[in-house]
């Protein structure tokens, strides 16, 4: 009898995540990354490049790079 009561209380205490919480989690996964941005140094176009474990923007004109750390 105590096992049935225990299972019943565990089942009733479970509540699925709210839709707004799951939407926030999914929004964090869908990050948009631009392929080109303006260089802050020379105002030319910086292109997105990737190394093994990181992304960075690199300007061919002035050799300036912005790295995500």
SS (HEC) of the chain: CHHHHHHHHHHHHCCCCCHHHHHHHHHHHCCCCCCEEECCCCCCEEEEEECCCCEEEEECCCCCEEECC
Q: What residue ranges do the domains of the chain occupy?
A: 2-67
Q: What is the mean pLDDT of the chain?
A: 74
Lowest-pLDDT range, 22-26, 33-37, 47-51? 22-26
Average pLDDT over residues 8-36: 62
Q: Which is more confident, 49 or 10?
A: 49
Question: Rounded to an integer, what distance in angstroms lies between the CA atom of residue 58 and that of residue 69?
Answer: 15
**Over the stretch 23-35, which tens digit does the pLDDT of each residue have?**
555 555 666 778 8
């Amino acid at each position: 009898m105590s096992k049935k009561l225990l299972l019943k209380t565990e089942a009733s205490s479970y509540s699925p995540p709210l839709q707004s919480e799951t939407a926030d989690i999914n929004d964090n996964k869908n990050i948009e990354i631009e392929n080109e941005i303006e260089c802050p140094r020379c105002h030319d176009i910086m292109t997105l490049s990737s190394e093994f474990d990181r992304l960075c923007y690199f300007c061919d004109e002035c050799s300036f790079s912005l790295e995500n750390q």
